Amino acid sequence: MVIDYLTENPWIETLFERYAEKEVSPFSYSFDRKDFIAKPPQVQVSQEPFVPFNRKPMKINYLEKEQRNQSLGMAGEELVYEFEKYRLKKPGREKLARQVEWITRKEGDGAGFDILSKEPGGNNKYIEVKTTRLGKETPFYFTKNELDFSLKNRHAYHLYRLFDFDLKPRMFIKQGDFSHICLSTPMVYEGYF
């Protein structure tokens, strides 16, 4: 019924498309706000009931498109980059703050993480940033490369999930590999011979 309604009302798709592709400009932000860091949502295993239905073709996954919005992703990464420098400078770790690197800006995408930061003791901290203008529980997408890197570096790997990015950006942080910090569903497969 939902798909039929959307098919009969194409203006709704136009709204989704505008939302998913909206340009996001970087902005300055105060990290001293007490509610900037939020508690991560609990991982909840639930059994969805099986409902058979005739599948109709869908044009676009707007949730995925919103996450692939480059200006949104870059604005989120920039905010985390500045936050990490702030986090290290605040207790007097300026030398470590100068070592924070924005890997995707410096080297490009494909490293398996976005920001290379430091722990207060000097150990590497690999940060994957996922940004949405939607709420905290909004699903996100990650690649096999990001999964593999998180598995190899699980003790130093962190997901920084930014949400409500348009209104009042906040984030939560989860440490570990993707197989332990969230539930996931394979969406795309590679076929080969």
Return the minimum-mean-pLDDT range out of 4-8, 107-111, 114-118, 164-168.
4-8
Give the pLDDT score at 189. Answer: 78
Q: Are 160 and 122 in contact (CB under 8 A)?
A: no
E strand segments, 39-167: 101-102, 115-118, 124-131, 157-163
18-77: per-residue pLDDT in tens? 777 777 766 667 777 777 888 888 877 666 666 565 566 656 666 666 666 788 889 999
Give the pLDDT score at 47. Answer: 62
Query: Is residue 2 scored above 80 in pLDDT?
Result: no
pTM: 0.77
79-113: per-residue pLDDT in tens? 999 999 999 999 999 999 999 999 999 998 889 99
